[in-house]
Structure 1
Amino acid sequence: MELLFGIFLTVFGLAMVAYRKRLVQGSMAGHRTVFGLGGKFTRLYATVIFTASGISLSAFGILIMIGAIEM
């Protein structure tokens, strides 16, 4: 069960990194600025957040899979 959960997290994290442009476009609908700053900064900020989240989810999923295999 833990192995499947690890696989799910890894695939979900990689999908976030692969589709980050669409995620950023969807998350920016109706939001032009963050903290009153320009739109380019907002887009960069959202891209960094989605990329970091995807990478950390993938890494966490890999760690769970390693732990499940070692048990």
Structure 2
Amino acid sequence: QGKPYSVRYEAVNAMLLNEFLKEHSKVEQQEATIAQLKKQVDALTKGLQKVSDQLDLSKPAPQTVMVNH
């Protein structure tokens, strides 16, 4: 409508701080989630290694056959 917008400069800092705090909270939550997921991956990797080791132990040793002509 041709009217200039006014800015409440005293409110800008408070709004920026509020946005920063919200983003900071999100980052902290993401860091906690990442740490938890890393622990789960480590536990799954250890379990998989145990199963793999058990499979290796249960395999019969390869046998060689000598054929003389």
TM normalised by structure 2 equals 0.48
Larger radius of gyration: 2
TM normalised by structure 1 equals 0.47
Q: Which has the higher contact order (CA 8 A, sep 6+)?
A: 1
